[in-house]
Amino acid sequence: MVDTSPFGDDPDLSPEEQKQLGSFKKAFINAHIVEENGEEWAFNEGCLSIPNVREDVFRPEEVTIRYSDENFNEVTETYTGLMARVIQHEYDHIEGILFTDKISSLKKRLIKGKLANISKGKVSIDYRMRFPEVKGRK
């Protein structure tokens, strides 16, 4: 499921992008990226799985994805811009990839402490999150 509605009121986006992303919710069943095209461009990405961490990630500007919809009809669609980026980001999760896997070694070293704190549950967030059990932590 891809839900871009949180982008609907992002002041950094154009009104057109806010409108497009603000109402997009779609199920992508057994999704497969068919093709990625265009020049890679940077965008400061974040993720609910890694709270309070954001970094510039480069991704192609266009993605073509094949999937089954909620009625199990096979669909192939091409997305561009920020919509393509969100789909690529979410698809990466299926492949076991987080946006931090796509940043430079230097940036990974710079956020190492933040990631360690997140894994220990030492993070302030306003949504429910499950952390691994660690001996001595309550």
Instruction: Determine contact, residues 89/63, Cβ cutoff 8 Å.
Output: no
Marked catalytic residue, from 17, 62, 77, 90: 90
Is 90 one of the catalytic residues? yes
34: its two tokens = 């068919």
Give the closest residue to 79 by CA, choosing from 10, 20, 23.
20
- Distance between CA atoms of residues 59 and 63, nearest Å: 10
2's enclosing H/E stretch is strand 2-3
Question: Which residues are designated catalytic?
Answer: 90
